[in-house]
């Protein structure tokens, strides 16, 4: 069967000159051949071939001439497709990848003409607070503290700029350290103070890294404050950051109403950024005349349906809602399985220990637009180059600033294959169809355009992603395209596209055991790798003799979600599927600003904004002189307790969880052998503090239960 198809393909390739202007006589040939060259990807040949040989039934061709005409003028400026690192800790595991794979991943994301070739990188301005998949560190834990060497967003911005100096940078806070609220949960308590805090972040980027921040936001998905926005604009101008533009408010479209009624606010805001707009703007937003952005969108599991979602919204955010920029939450799903919104990124990298990563469909969907446009191109007008296809799907036409290059992106995503996480998607139909592309105005002269093609594979069909199909010929400005379902076509005068590739990454591996981290190899102020802080902020410090990690948060932050409002910190590590495990760590509680206690834990069953509700097996030692074994992080379900004294200096805390029993030890002395609740059955290992306040940790050791039992077998047994 396959060999017959291959023979037909050979014939087709030998005899055909790609599709030309539509005529009844040519129809049969067109249906067979809208593709001239097929990449040497043998796996997809069969599928592509069956697509090409599809019978014409079901194809509709009524009223299907689509005009692309620049003589009627151009519309809005295209402002780029971006990815969002943060909101929060979504790139956590990426930093620690082996150098080779890490560079490959960064190339897939940022390198021009290689993969997603992103045009905007949006990052979180860390607020020492949980912001979805973890906590990102603030550059000012306290009002007297300033540090630009924390976390990974600086590094990521540098890597992005290294690959694409033209990439735009956009910073946005989700939360703020507690002192910003001055005892409240309101970051607008003193708007000058908050503006100063943000200006310092922008200045720090410039001073420390020569990074120019292009856009700055207000407060992610929380209320905006008009006085604050004006104050921020003023402070930016006074500090020489006239070119840093404000995008507001990273929530709904509601700020449009205030912009229409307040000239000063209108002057302060460059673009209205809406989250998950469902491809539609509001009348008010349109009436402001401002740039409209989907400043956070997508957030969908990155399988084929995720690719379909992304393809549909990248086009239709402009077609339906005049949005000239769309930013994916998130850039890369680089956080543990078991944390919220697993794999909701353009690609996935969750195994720094193995180097395994996955380039997912949204990378190539992005390439369909980004590899053939730049920020500053202009959309053609609605109905003369932007619109809906007669039988479902959409198209956008974009023109280069000098007017000479044209890129057309067409998508035919079906409803069920393009559902995004939110909002709901009303029903619509898409049918296979023939369309006549009609180039007018200055593009009428074109005799061919380069074609790039993707088809998302469902029902066992493989994906065909971002294949170069050679050139489509135009006669008198016209060509016919046969459009199937769940396809993306780019037709472009740009000839530099490339489907970048690297060797298959190393195979997937479970989290390695035994695992020991002594933190000696880290730069100062870095976050510990693999420890995914859910509340609190942990960073590497040195006391001159040894490097260790310290929990730095002293008070409840101005939080983004509930998990931070309970005066406790937790950092998870390892595998969400672990049931039996041994966790041991050295800790020290400083005398100044200290925490009320520390813990090690196993079977921790949640993180994210619900981190405070996590169940598991927690061994706390408290400065009050007690140890407690608790079934929850909140320490409300205590199953075992006794007294211990914690002197100054280093101690060792050990917890072995095996089946229905737990063994705990402090400084090599067994505290208990206790029966534990059977639920939860599995979860992460963790360390943490009983309250905010300083605690130091060193030499994190994770072992299998069997090895842990051997280790504890040498400890002093004080119990029966």
Interacting residue ranges for ligand NAG, rule: CB under 6 A: 142, 144, 190, 192-193, 196, 210, 212, 343, 348, 350, 356, 358, 508, 554-556, 567, 592-593, 596, 661, 663, 673, 691-692, 694
Task: Provide, rounded to whole angstroms, the least separation between the CB of residue 621 and ligand NAG.
Answer: 14
Task: Provide, rounded to whole angstroms, the least separation between the CB of residue 556 and ligand NAG.
Answer: 5
Task: Provide, rounded to whole angstroms, the least separation between the CB of residue 355 and ligand NAG.
Answer: 11
Task: Provide, rounded to whole angstroms, the least separation between the CB of residue 554 and ligand NAG.
Answer: 5
Work out the burial of residue 645: count CB atoms within 10 Å of its CB; fewer than 13 is exposed, 13-18 middle, 19 or more buried. exposed
Task: Give which of 412, 406, 461 is closest to 438, Cα–Cα.
Answer: 406
Task: Provide, rounded to whole angstroms, the least separation between the CB of residue 59 and ligand NAG.
Answer: 35
| β-bridge pairing 716-717 and 669-675 | parallel
Closer of 407 and 569 to ligand NAG (Cβ): 569
Taking the C-alpha atoms of residue 8 and residue 266, their distance in angstroms, rounded to an integer, is 62
Closer of 406 and 554 to ligand NAG (Cβ): 554
Task: Give which of 491, 499, 481 is closest to 452, Cα–Cα.
Answer: 491
Task: Provide, rounded to whole angstroms, the least separation between the CB of residue 410 and ligand NAG.
Answer: 28
Closer of 190 and 639 to ligand NAG (Cβ): 190
| β-bridge pairing 406-411 and 487-492 | antiparallel
Cβ atoms of 333 and 511 within 8 Å: the answer is no
Using alpha carbons only, give the angle 178, 214, 315 rounded to the nearest 5 degrees.
Answer: 105
Residue of 75, 153, 296, 411 marked active site:
296
If residue 696 lies in a helix (H) or strand (E), which one and from where to where? strand 695-703
Residue 485 CB: number of other CB atoms within 10 A? Answer: 18
Closer of 59 and 228 to ligand NAG (Cβ): 228
Residue of 146, 149, 221, 555 marked active site:
221
- The values of phi and psi at residue 669, to 5°, are -115, 120
Beta strands in 179-304 (DSSP E): 215-216, 245-251, 269-275, 291-298
Please report the DSSP string for 241-277 in residue order: -TTPEEEEEEE-STHHHHHHH-HHHHHHEEEEEEES-
Active site residue 99: no
Closer of 160 and 256 to ligand NAG (Cβ): 160
- The values of phi and psi at residue 50, to 5°, are -65, -30
Helices and strands counted in the chain (H then E): 14, 37
Closer of 643 and 661 to ligand NAG (Cβ): 661
Closer of 5 and 458 to ligand NAG (Cβ): 458
Task: Give which of 202, 221, 217 is closest to 268, Cα–Cα.
Answer: 217
Task: Provide, rounded to whole angstroms, the least separation between the CB of residue 334 and ligand NAG.
Answer: 10
Active site residue 296: yes
Closer of 191 and 327 to ligand NAG (Cβ): 191
Task: Provide, rounded to whole angstroms, the least separation between the CB of residue 202 and ligand NAG.
Answer: 14
Give the SS3 label for residue 14. Answer: helix
Closer of 167 and 686 to ligand NAG (Cβ): 167
In three-state form (DSSP H/G/I as H, E/B as E, the rest C), the secondary structure along 435-452 is EEEEEEHHHHHCCEEEEE
Tokens of 547: 């490097």
Task: Give which of 188, 392, 403, 168 is closest to 293, Cα–Cα.
Answer: 168
Beta strands in 73-223 (DSSP E): 74-77, 80-85, 120-125, 129-130, 135-136, 168-173, 215-216
> What long-range pairs does 401-406 form, CB within 8 A, spacing at least 24?
401/376, 401/377, 403/70, 403/442, 404/442, 404/493, 405/492, 405/493, 405/494, 406/68, 406/70, 406/439, 406/443, 406/446, 406/449, 406/492, 406/493
CA-CA-CA-CA dihedral for 27, 31, 33, 35, to nearest 10:
130
Task: Provide, rounded to whole angstroms, the least separation between the CB of residue 238 and ligand NAG.
Answer: 13
Active site residues: 221, 296
């Amino acid at each position: 069967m396959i060999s017959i198809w291959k023979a037909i393909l050979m014939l087709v390739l030998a005899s055909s000159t790609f599709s030309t202007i539509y005529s009844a006589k040519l129809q049969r040939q067109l249906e067979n051949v809208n593709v001239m060259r097929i990449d040497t990807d043998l796996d997809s040949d069969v599928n592509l071939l069956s697509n090409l040989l599809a019978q014409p039934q079901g194809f509709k061709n009524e009223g299907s001439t689509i005009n692309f005409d620049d003589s009627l003028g151009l519309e809005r400026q295209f402002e780029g497709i971006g990815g969002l690192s943060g909101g929060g800790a979504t790139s956590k595991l990426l930093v620690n990848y082996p150098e080779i794979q890490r560079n490959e991943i960064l190339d897939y994301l940022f390198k021009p003409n290689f993969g997603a070739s992103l045009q905007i990188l949006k990052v979180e301005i860390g607020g020492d607070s949980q912001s979805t998949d973890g906590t990102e560190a603030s550059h000012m834990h306290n009002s007297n503290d300033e540090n630009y060497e924390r976390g990974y967003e600086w590094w990521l911005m540098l890597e992005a700029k290294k690959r694409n100096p033209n990439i735009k940078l956009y910073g946005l806070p989700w939360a703020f350290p507690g002192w910003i609220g001055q005892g409240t949960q309101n970051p607008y308590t003193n708007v000058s103070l908050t503006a100063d805090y943000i200006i310092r972040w922008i200045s720090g980027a410039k001073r420390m890294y020569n990074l120019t921040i292009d856009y700055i936001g207000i407060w992610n998905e929380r209320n905006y404050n008009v006085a604050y926005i004006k104050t921020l604009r003023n402070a930016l101008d006074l500090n020489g950051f006239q070119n840093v533009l404000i995008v507001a408010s990273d929530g709904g479209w509601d700020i449009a109403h205030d912009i229409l009624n307040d000239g000063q606010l209108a002057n302060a805001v460059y673009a209205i950024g809406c989250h998950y707009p469902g491809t539609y703007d509001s009348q008010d937003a349109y009436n402001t005349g401002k740039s409209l952005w989907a400043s956070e969108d997508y957030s969908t599991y990155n399988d084929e349906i995720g690719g379909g979602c992304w393809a549909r919204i990248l086009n239709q955010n402009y077609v339906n809602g005049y949005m000239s920029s769309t930013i994916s939450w998130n850039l890369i799903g680089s956080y543990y399985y078991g944390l919220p919104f697993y794999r909701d990124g353009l690609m996935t990298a969750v195994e720094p220990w193995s180097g395994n990563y996955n380039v997912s469909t949204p990378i190539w969907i992005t390439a369909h637009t980004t590899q053939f446009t730049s920020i500053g191109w202009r959309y053609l007008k609605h109905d003369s180059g932007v619109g809906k296809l007669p039988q479902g799907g959409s198209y956008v036409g974009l023109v280069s600033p000098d007017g000479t290059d044209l890129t057309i992106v067409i998508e035919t995503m079906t409803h069920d294959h393009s559902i995004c996480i939110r909002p709901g998607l009303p029903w619509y139909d898409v049918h296979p169809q023939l369309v006549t592309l009609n180039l007018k105005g200055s593009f009428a002269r074109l005799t061919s355009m380069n074609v790039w093609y993707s088809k998302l594979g469902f029902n066992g069909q493989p994906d065909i992603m971002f294949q170069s199909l050679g050139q489509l010929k135009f006669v008198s400005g016209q060509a016919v395209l046969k459009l199937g379902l769940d396809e993306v076509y780019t037709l472009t005068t740009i000839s530099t596209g490339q489907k970048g590739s690297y060797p298959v990454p190393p195979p997937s591996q479970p989290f390695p055991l035994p695992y020991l981290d002594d933190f000696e190899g880290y730069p100062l102020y870095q976050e510990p790798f693999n420890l995914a802080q859910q509340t609190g902020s942990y960073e590497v410090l040195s006391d001159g003799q040894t490097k260790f990690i310290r929990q730095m948060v002293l008070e409840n932050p101005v939080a983004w979600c509930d998990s931070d409002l309970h005066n406790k910190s937790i950092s998870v590590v390892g595998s969400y599927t672990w049931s039996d495990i041994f966790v041991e760590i050295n800790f020290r509680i400083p005398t100044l600003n200290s925490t009320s206690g520390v813990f090690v834990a196993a079977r921790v069953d949640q993180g994210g904004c619900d981190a405070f509700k996590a169940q598991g097996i927690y061994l706390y030692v408290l400065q009050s002189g007690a140890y407690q074994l608790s079934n929850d992080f909140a320490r409300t379900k205590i199953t075992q307790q006794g007294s211990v004294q914690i002197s100054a200096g280093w101690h060792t805390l050990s917890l072995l969880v095996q089946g229905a029993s737990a063994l705990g030890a402090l400084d090599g002395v067994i505290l208990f052998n206790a029966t534990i609740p059977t639920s939860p059955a599995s979860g992460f290992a963790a360390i943490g503090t009983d309250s905010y306040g300083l605690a130091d940790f060193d030499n994190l050791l994770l072992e299998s239960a069997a090895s842990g039992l051997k280790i504890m077998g040498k400890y002093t047994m004080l119990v029966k």
